[in-house]
Every structure is written in C-alpha cells, then in structure tokens.
Structure 1
C-alpha cells in the first residue's frame, strides 16, 4: 500500500513505497500522523518536488467516487457512503418538538418570523447541505495528503418532467398536472373521481380522506404518493384490519438533489480551489465502455480524472459517513408511571466509544454497539458481523471515532498483497 508524505510544514508531497517509509521511520526522519490513509510527516526540509495530480470526483446523493491519478499511476481510490437518515431524524425532531410544545406551552402563538428560511437568503434544505458539505470534506481530506493540481467533477441534471412524460414539450412544462386546482388534496380527489379506491363506494361512507401511501416523512405530499380513501377504509387500514394492494412508487429525491447540488458544489469548489472543471455522465460512460472497465463509483471517478492509461491501485478505501451525536435525550414512549427513559447510551464504556476502530483477534473492525457491562457489537463497514458481544479486554483501540469511518478493501480481480 502507498504511504502518503507531507513536509514539516504540513504541505502534501508525492506518495512513496512502504520500504522507503520504513527507512525514514527507522532513521528518525519522519513520524506517523495518520493510520488510514497511512501518512508520514517529514522532520527535515525537502525539495518539495511534485507531479501534476488530477482528482476525479463522481458526485452523487448516496455514494461519492474518488480517484487521484498522475499520467502513469493511480495514487488514491475511494468510495464514500453518505448518510441517508437526515430526513428521518429532522422529521422525528419536528414531531417531538410539536408534542413538547403542546404539553409545555399549549397557548404559545406561532412565530413565523423566526424560521430559518426568512432569516438566511440562499437557504437550502439540511439534507442537501449535509451532502454538499460531505463532498467538500472528502475533497479537502485528499488535498491534505496529495498535491492536487486539478479537480474534475461529474455532475448531472435531470429533467424530471421528461422522465415522467417523454412526450412533453413547449408550454406543457408550465402546465403541470395540478393546473387549475387550488391544492394537492383537491387534485387527488378529482383524479380519483371522489371515490374510495379500496371499496369503490361499497361502504356508503361519504367522508373522504387523502391517504399517504408512504408516510409523509419519506414520501412527501406529491400526488402520486396520495390516495383517496373513505373514512371507514382509512380507519380500518390504520387499525390493521385491511390491506391495500398498492405498488411502491419510486420518487425523484436523488434526481432532485443532483439538480440542486451541482451548482452549489461547483460554485463552492471554484471559490476554494483554482483549477475546477465539470464533466458529464455520458462522457464517463463512453470512456468506461471503450476501455472495458467494470461499473463502480471509484471506476467512474478514475475515468473522470482523465488519465485512463494510469496503473490502477489493487485496493481502495471504503468510507462511511456517520452521525456524531444522538441528541434525543429521552425515549418517545414513557413508562406507566410517567417516567421517560433515557435514549442515550453512556458516551464512553471501558475507554471505548461508538464507532471506534479496534483490533479483535487480528481483525480490524468498528464498534457498532456497546453495553454498560463492557461488551461490544463489532462489525465491518460492509456489514459483516465480527462478534455480537466481544469483551472489552479483547479489544485494542486503533483509531478514535470520526465522522468518516474508513477501511481498506481489496479489489476482487486482484489478490491482496501480503
């Protein structure tokens, strides 16, 4: 595996082989500053010789592909798995806040002027902001270990109306499906002919409700997530007495995110770095097919970087973004005597924290669960279970927890180097 070098002032230099790094450490000319990726800092002055290094970034809403290459060799390869729980956590926080205010300040008037949208121009949703910050963070981390001279980012823009209706054109883009209706509810009732879509009016119940096929938390209020049900069928469904024969509707969350993110990401990258370029997915796909390369995020990033003849690394870094804190203090459902139980586990148990990287039986893994008794649930980032209840005395701490967890994965086609 390559070893990354930074000079005594913290500026990145070119990578070196493990043999050269071992000699520098034995001679006392360098010190270890990071385990993964393994990085050394020189303790003496150096010439600062570097080569042009291009960083390819395959931007996405779930995964990020990264590949830093010179003309002859790939120096860094990584896939980053982003968080997908931000929407659910924010929705849960809103529900808890609403019930708390109903208990504590029942007569509190709504204060619309205090909302974030009215305070900050250019506000974007927290879920999108989180993903954009993650892209900026992983790019910044690579700049700390390699002398990146150029960044090439693949972004995509989607015509969602064209996806829904391939024949749309002209003024039809301004005339949506809800044209002429006051709100979504009115449109859904009209679309379903003011008839219960389960019993078709057999219940003789004239009170109609608009039912969310998926919860509003995950599916939103778009028309294709709403269904007309009479009040009788609606109550019976939520009581579990009937089932609805419905197909899960694929939304356009990720396409919408990419459409919003692309401009913000490029703007912030250009403000921070000098040489930032943009490319498109069809160019990446054509390059990958012509060179008979497998489909993956890191391979797309390798194609985006442009040095297609460079020697690829036999391994890559799998990174996973994790939340830092569990801010919900109490559980939602109190016990019978009204006491609300704590929802937070101890911060440190026997010197270990959640998501610390540890060594167990010569296996590198992460703590995904801990108990007060000193037993831990150990897993890898890919989901492999190492041990459900390992003793704390059998663990050796390697790296304290971070927002971005990292482990080395070897490519399937190339055996690991001993």
Structure 2
C-alpha cells in the first residue's frame, strides 16, 4: 500500500498500483515523503475525491491498536508499543536530586509554594502515554483522509477485582478505613508480628518493609510486610532470607491508568478533531469482544481496532506495521560511577558516530534493522524492534547501509 498526498500536503486515497507510482517517481511527477509507511506527494494539481474511512483505536497502557478501514478494505493497521520507563526515570532523577541537595545545600530552607498542581493535572507517566495516543492518531490523519474516529477506552472496577462480592456501601469501606496511614494498617493486618521469624527474635521494634523496592512497587499495602528490626537489618545485609511465601500482591497499575486516561483521551480527541468536521465516537469493550468472536477473528490489538472501526469484514493484505515509541532525549550528563580523581564519564554520546545516530534505520544483508548501540570504534549493535540481535557481537559500520534517519516512532512492516 502506497499512501498519497496532494500538492498541498493533504491526504488522498492510497493506491496499490505500484508500477504507476514507480513511473511517477522516475518522471518527477511525485516525490517520496516517507519510507515506512511508504508515502509520496504529487507535484501537480489533482482532484480531491475521497471515500469514507473509519479509524478505530484500541487504547491501552502498553499497546495501542489502530486500524483505518473502508467497508471492504483495510488501508492501515498498526500495533504501537508505548514507553513504560517514565516512572523509573523519574524515580532515579528524584534520588539523584535529593542526594545532590543533601551534599551541596544541606541547610537550604524547604520551598512548597511552587508545588501546587492546577486543575486537570495528570502524572507525567499518564500524560506521556495520552500524548502518544494523540500523536499516533495525528500521524495517521496526515496520510489518510479520515472521516470518523471510533475509540475504545476500557474501564476497570479495581474494588470488584479485589472482592467479587462487593456491593453498595462496601465501596466506601476500603481496607484502610479508620487507619491513620498505610503503616498502621500493615502492622494491624500482620498482627504486629514479624512475618519472617514470627517473633522468635524477641525484637520488639517493628519495621514496614517493601517486598519490591519503593521505586518499583510503590507504597501499596500489598507491597509492604511487617518485619522486626533484626530480620529487617539482616535482610538488607544479606544474612537473612524471607520465606518464599512472601510475595507481592496483584498489581493494578495498568487498570488505574485506563481509568484515569479514559475520558481525558476521549475529550482531547473531540476538542482536536470535531472542529474540523471529523466526528469522534466512543465504544465499549464488550461490543468489541462480541464482534471479534462473531466474525472469528484472532485476538490482536490491531484486529480489535478493526472491529472498533465498524468494518470487521474488511479484507486485509496480510501485513501490519509494528511501531515502538522511544525516548526523545537523555538529559543525564554524567554517569553515576566516579573514577579516580573525582572524574565522571560523560553519559551522552556525541551527536553523530561515524555518521550514524541512535535508532537510525540501516540495512544489513538485505534486511532492515535499527541502531541500538554505537561505539567510537565503529562497531554498532543493531537489532529488530522486538530486540532480536543480528549476532552475539557488534558489527562494523562499514557493513551497514544507511536507510533513514531516526524518528521517535520506530516502524517496521510485519506479516500477519
């Protein structure tokens, strides 16, 4: 499928006439705008006749499924993998900032007036994912004349997941009802008894221990356990091991994200596209599931998006695009390890290494790969988007052929 733009950059209907496209490129009637997905722009005035195209969006916390269809044909399908490292990066930055302030400005007075959050504030991790959803839709609207947008944003009842029999006023009576804080609740839940030695150490001092680090697991009650001072200190020194029965409880991070982003994403789409006469509609997960089962379709993100678009019978050409959102910038200047003499290594590589940037698309032995690592010696680490390496070691850049410069959405074509 070749996507076509008119002379003014407005999207037209795509074409499968590859020979005609090749002749137009050779004669100068068109030029290449993008390689993946392959998009051309016409250099002459043309009509603007389009068909009804419905865009289905299967929103998610880890993957986005998108499908642009007519009644009989699939024009574009993609599975977009989102970033899930925002919380980890922010936690690392907070640790470094606190350590630096403790070393440099230990006696500086605290400032709280600049910590106020305005109306509609969203956590950075959630805001980044919603922004990615909007950018994915915007990129599709740049190459296809979308007529309407259908979006499915699932909602989860976390209380129902924890307790299937919950009902009525029980929703207002959570586990931590009448407790001052999480620590008090955890101590009461564990009977003020060490869950490692069960009181055999005779240590009366009790601590609340994170099963997974706070950076990874947070301060949720199911990630906390009561330990005595002796077991807690011994565990962190490596002399005490916790019982295998102590494990972190269920995670509700993704379910909480979907509940928060549900209406924020839908309202943002309406504000952006309804003023330009592109209606936005909302649908529900049970409708998508019923449609997929009725038409005997596989469970994939882009297939769900096809069902959401309202054209589950549209025929596909057997291909879809797999995209991966990557980090735009790395603002950490130095590495954490300090060498002799107080010297810190630079954490950022030079802009170009042997003419290549990070995530540039290259060709090796007739196949497309992406640059995941660069060395000043000229030996690079190239991989597919799924993380598959070409070989165990690195490859010389002399064996690589440059295809396209990096983008923030790495794209490769895959067979169904």
Name the TM tier (shorter chain). over 0.9
Q: 2:368 aligns with which of 352, 358, 364?
A: 364
In 2, distance between residues paired with 1:310 and 1:341?
55
In 2, distance between residues paired with 1:249 and 1:375?
44
The answer to whether the 8 A contact 2:222-2:250 is kept is: no
Hey, what does 2:316 align to over in structure 1? 312
Q: 1:400 aligns with which of 391, 399, 405?
A: 405
Q: What CA deviation, in whole Å up to 9, does each residue of 1:377-417 have, x standing for no partner?
A: 01000121114311111112111111110001111xxxxxx
Hey, what does 2:14 align to over in structure 1? 15
Hey, what does 2:73 align to over in structure 1? 73
Instruction: Give how far 1:350 is off.
Output: 0.4
Alignment of 1:6-405 (within 5 A): 6-17=5-16, 18-115=18-115, 118-244=116-242, 245=244, 246-274=246-274, 275-387=279-391, 388-405=393-410
Q: Secondary structure at the match of 2:371?
A: strand
Instruction: Give how far 1:113 is off.
Output: 1.3
The answer to whether the 8 A contact 1:87-1:127 is kept is: yes
Q: What CA deviation, in whole Å up to 9, does each residue of 1:133-172 have, x standing for no partner?
A: 0000010000000000001001111110111011111111
Instruction: Give how far 1:336 is off.
Output: 4.5
Instruction: Give how far 1:344 is off.
Output: 2.1
Instruction: Give how far 1:368 is off.
Output: 0.6
Which runs of 5 or more residues in structure 2 are unaligned? none
The answer to whether the 8 A contact 1:7-1:42 is kept is: yes
Q: Secondary structure at the match of 2:337?
A: coil
Instruction: Give how far 1:346 is off.
Output: 2.6
Deviates more, 1:342-351 or 1:203-212: 342-351
TM-score w.r.t. the length of structure 1 is 0.96
Q: Secondary structure at the match of 1:185?
A: helix
TM-score w.r.t. the length of structure 2 is 0.96
The answer to whether the 8 A contact 2:222-2:248 is kept is: no
Pair 1:410-2:408 in alignment: no
Alignment: residue pair count:
408
In 2, distance between residues paired with 1:397 and 1:200?
63
In 2, distance between residues paired with 1:257 and 1:295?
22
Q: What CA deviation, in whole Å up to 9, does each residue of 1:179-224 have, x standing for no partner?
A: 1111110111111111100000111111111001111112111111
In 2, distance between residues paired with 1:108 and 1:268?
41
Q: Secondary structure at the match of 2:77?
A: strand
In 1, distance between residues paired with 2:181 and 2:334?
37
Q: Secondary structure at the match of 1:303?
A: helix
The answer to whether the 8 A contact 2:87-2:125 is kept is: yes
Instruction: Give how far 1:119 is off.
Output: 4.7
Q: What CA deviation, in whole Å up to 9, does each residue of 1:80-118 have, x standing for no partner?
A: 000010000000000000001111111111111112xx1
Q: CA RMSD in A?
A: 1.1
Q: Secondary structure at the match of 1:278?
A: strand
Instruction: Give how far 1:250 is off.
Output: 2.5
Q: Secondary structure at the match of 2:170?
A: helix
Hey, what does 1:415 align to over in structure 2? none
The answer to whether the 8 A contact 1:236-1:242 is kept is: yes
Instruction: Give how far 1:176 is off.
Output: 1.0
In 2, distance between residues paired with 1:288 and 1:372?
51
